[in-house]
Amino acid sequence: MEAKLSAASRRVAPSPIQQLSHLAQRAGAVNLAEGFPDFPAPAHVKAAAAAAIAADLNQYRHVQGICDVLAETMKRDHGLHVDPLTDFAVCCGQSEAFAAAIFAIIDQGDEVLLFDPAFETYQTCIELARGVSVYVPLDPPSWTLNEDKFLKSFTDRTKAVVLNSPHNPTGKVFSKEELLIIAQACQKMDCFAITDEVYEYITYDENKHISLASLPGMQDRTIITSSLSKTYSVTGWRIGWACAPASIASAIRNIHVKLTDSAPAPFQEAALVALTSTPDFYTSLKKDYTARRDFILQMLTDFGFRISFKPQGSIFVFVELPRSWQLSDMEFVTNLIKNAGVAAVPGRGFFHSSSDDPSYHHRYVRFAFCKSNDTLNAAAEKMKKLAASDARILRPTDDGEAGQTVSAISP
């Protein structure tokens, strides 16, 4: 019966993350691969979920209050005026919101522009809608938008541009200048923009998240998708949303209802509490993640990496292997799991486009730092032991430089 599987299902191959997860589990590796927190969710958010379950709010449900709060937040943060009654679809995570948005606007043969490297699920959704993914490479090491490459990627079949900022896997936050280039092109070519803004509250230093929809002329053609997952450390709760003009939001809602009917009821109730967290919560979130980012950057420097791009946002660092190591990303990650007991993600799974130097597609590794202090300290200790051992397959030669010794991160 395998031969009767759909062509779409055959095109969906296991990712490098999936391929290495079993090896990591067998080795009992410290998980710096997957982008989910291993520390507790905020107590007030968990209490709200528990109270909703105890109150038997366990059936199909739409909590309109989520849309009301989100509308207020978008006005406050981005100057957007949206109607909470018509402009939202509450979905099972950002992933479903994004998929429903693609299904709502993409027909067979429509082209969708994505910035490369890119999160892998975008392409799958586009393929299931029988659209065509067109990748626009960002220029390393700072992953800058090349205006010429971007504009030349448009054709008369371009239907949408996908923008993820802050960006997975690189940690880039698109600048206002880059966003203006994207906005002007979308308007000139009369196409949609779909944004993935799940890391909107996790930015560093002076970098600020700007929603593409807030730029002149963009609100009427932009579908914003986001979720509770990363900000409130509840990736398994699957509460997300799409925000768009009423007619587009209606189409997304209709598809969502046919796919899953409703997002988990008790977690919708908890979302109301999460989304009304005090400013102190977001200040603490940024402070804690800044400490984690700085810790992992020092850990990687001590191991022999040269950090050419410091994450501006998100929960990932995307680092290039030193040329002298003579290892591909897959070889490095496999050896890191086996010899140090630390798991990361080979970068090749995020690259899709051709480039003048395609070899760099196999030279990057992604580490997630949305982990507890104990997890990060354990990873640092394991990598320190490996760097001091005879396992030179993971160590730099003449090219390497020692950094200052990383100090344990404290609660």
Residues 270 and 341 in one domain: no
345 pLDDT more than 80: yes
- CATH of residue 382's domain is 3.90.1150.10
Tell me the CATH number at 162: 3.40.640.10
Count of structural domains, the chain:
2
Question: For residue 14, is it within any domain?
Answer: yes
Examine residue 141 and say whether the peptide bond preceding it is cis (omega within 30 degrees of 0): yes
Among 228, 255, 277, the domain-final residue is 277
Measure the CA angle with vertex 79, ends 74 and 81; round to 5°.
70
Q: Which stretches does DSSP call E strand in 53-210?
A: 88-91, 111-116, 132-137, 158-164, 192-196
Structure tokens given for 163: 């923008």
Q: Specify whether 365 is located in the same domain as 252.
A: no
230 and 108 within one domain: yes
> Any idea what DSSP says for residue 203?
B
Residue 82: predicted pLDDT: 98
Residues 112 and 248 in one domain: yes
d(CA 123, CA 132): 8
Across 33-37, 78-82, 218-222, 355-359, least confident range: 355-359
Count the neighbouring beta carbons within 10 Å of the beta carbon of residue 68: 15
Domain end, chosen from 277, 296, 331, is at 277
Same domain? 71 vs 110: yes
Could you tell me which of 341, 322, 335 has the C-alpha nearest to residue 383? 341
DSSP string, 5-56: S-HHHHH-PPPHHHHHHHHHHHHT-EE-SSSS--SPPPHHHHHHHHHHHHTT
Residue 390 has pLDDT above 70, yes or no: no
Q: Are 116 and 137 in contact (CB under 8 A)?
A: yes
User: Is the domain of 238 the same as that of 159?
Assistant: yes
Angle, vertex CA 208, rays to CA 298 and CA 100, nearest 5: 105
Whether residue 228 is contained in a domain is answered as yes
Residue with tokens 């029988």: 130
SS3 104: helix
**Looking at 277, 309, 328, which one is the last position of a domain?**
277
Pick 391 or 354 by higher pLDDT: 354
Res. 393: pLDDT tops 60? no
Nearest CA-CA partner of 295 in 231, 235, 374: 374
Q: Do both 328 and 264 map to the same domain?
A: no
Which among 130, 121, 89, 5 has a CA at the least distance from the CA of 259?
A: 89
Residue 222 clears pLDDT 60, i.e. is over it? yes
pLDDT confidence of residue 8: 84
Mean pLDDT of the chain: 92
Asked if 124 and 252 sit in the same domain, the reply is: yes
pLDDT at 396: 45
pLDDT band at 325 (very low <50, low <70, confident <90, very high): confident
Same domain, 216 and 356: no
98-102, 379-383, 391-395: the lowest-pLDDT one: 391-395
The more confident residue out of 407 and 56 is 56
**Range of the structural domain that residue 236 is part of:** 43-277
Length of the chain: 411
Domain contains 408: no
133 shares a domain with 64? yes
Q: Which pLDDT score is estimated for 400?
A: 42
Strand, helix or coil for residue 62: coil
- Which tens digits make up the pLDDT trace of 111-168? 999 999 999 899 999 999 999 999 999 999 999 999 999 999 999 999 999 999 999 9
Residue 398 lies inside a defined structural domain of this protein: no
Q: Is the pLDDT of residue 223 over 70?
A: yes
pLDDT at 342 over 80: yes
Q: Name 345's Cβ contacts closer than 8 Å, sequence gap at least 6.
A: 16, 17, 20, 33, 34, 169, 333, 365, 366, 367, 368
Cα separation of 13 and 123, whole Å? 12
> Based on the domain organization, do 288 and 204 belong to the same domain?
no
Residue 395 has pLDDT above 60, yes or no: no
Residue 41 to residues 36, 233, 288, Cα–Cα distance (Å): 11, 5, 13
pLDDT interval class at 357 (50, 70, 90): low
Asked if the structure places residue 409 within a domain, the reply is no
195-206 pLDDT, tens digit per residue, is 999 999 999 999
* Residue pLDDT, tens place only, 11-35: 887 776 677 778 888 889 999 999 9
Going by pLDDT thresholds of 50, 70 and 90, the confidence category of residue 257 is very high
Cα 17 from Cα 24, distance rounded (Å): 10
The pLDDT, as a whole number, for residue 411 is 45
Residue 396 counted as domain residue: no
Window from 4-13, 66-75, 183-192, 306-315 with minimum mean pLDDT? 4-13
Residue 375 parent element (H or E): helix 373-388
d(C-alpha 380, C-alpha 403), whole Å: 13
Which tens digits make up the pLDDT trace of 271-306? 999 999 999 999 999 999 999 999 999 999 999 999
Residue partners of 186: CB distance under 8 A and separation at least 6: 161, 192, 193, 218, 221
Q: How far apart are the first and last CA of the chain?
A: 54
**How many whole angstroms from its chain centre is CA 90?**
19
My answer on whether 326 and 187 are in the same domain is no
Q: Is residue 188 a part of any domain in this protein?
A: yes
